[in-house]
Amino acid sequence: MKRPFILVAVLAAGLILGAALMGAMKLPGLFGRGPDPETIATASLQSVREQARLTPFVARYVAVVTSTQSRFGLDAQKTMILPGTVRYEVDLAKLQRDDLDWDAATNTLNVTLPPVEIAGPEIDLNQVQEYSGGGVLMSLTNAEAALDAANRQRGTQSLLEQARAQTPMRLARNAARTAVERSFAMPLRAAGIEAKVVARFAGEAGTRDPSQLDRSRRIEDVLEESKAKT
């Protein structure tokens, strides 16, 4: 039995890149002319790349899985509740100059982002709960160890499936866009350039699909719901 559960999302604040701002402000003066948006964007790109991995979004999920074994006419069953945390990351070091596109007609800087990567899940071992039946078989054989291994494998897979669902991935992408847009917009604004920054992932349309954060539920509530449906 495998039931997807909870989403507790934490939307991280955008990057504040002081190095990008300082570098962008110095470059125009070297050539004795006014601020150039493409030059400032290129300077900002280098500082953004140096930030390495951006973690704009973190989510917590709970997997409820059950495994059974039958041997010698005896049955054993074990249910495991595994809470896990997943980080959604963007490798900013992969950004290249070709990923920036300045549209002079609309004063818009378009940034194409590397894909969101999932790190984890990190299982909270202190919060793992277990419920078992069939003690005779487990005491006579290695059935309990086999059930634990099966539950851990299925639980990890369940957590990853929840993490890859449409809603959390959308929230993670929106958070990444916001952080990167701020990182490029601040140096432009400081240089007195009124420009719009639009960050997108490859293959995306220009419109954004905002979403409300899902409400989290207690592990106890999930367990009661699981029992009621079995």
Q: What is the pLDDT along the chain (230 residues), one digit of tens a residue?
A: 444 443 333 333 333 344 344 444 444 443 345 578 888 888 889 888 888 899 999 999 999 998 887 887 787 888 999 999 999 999 999 999 999 999 989 999 999 999 999 998 999 888 889 887 767 676 767 777 888 898 899 999 999 999 999 999 999 999 999 999 999 999 999 888 888 999 999 877 653 443 433 334 444 454 555 555 55
pLDDT value, residue 206 = 52
Q: What distance in Å separates the CA atoms of residue 133 and residue 98, rounded to the nearest whole number?
A: 59
pLDDT value, residue 134 = 65
Q: Are 87 and 119 in contact (CB under 8 A)?
A: yes
pLDDT value, residue 228 = 58
Integer distance in angstroms from the first to the last C-alpha of the chain?
A: 9
Q: Long-range pairs for 139-147 at CB < 8 Å and ≥24 separation?
A: 140/72, 140/74, 141/71, 143/69, 143/71, 143/76, 144/76, 144/78, 146/69, 147/67, 147/68, 147/69, 147/76, 147/77, 147/78
Contacts of 30 (CB under 8 A, 6+ apart): none
Domain extents in the chain: 2-229
pLDDT value, residue 138 = 67
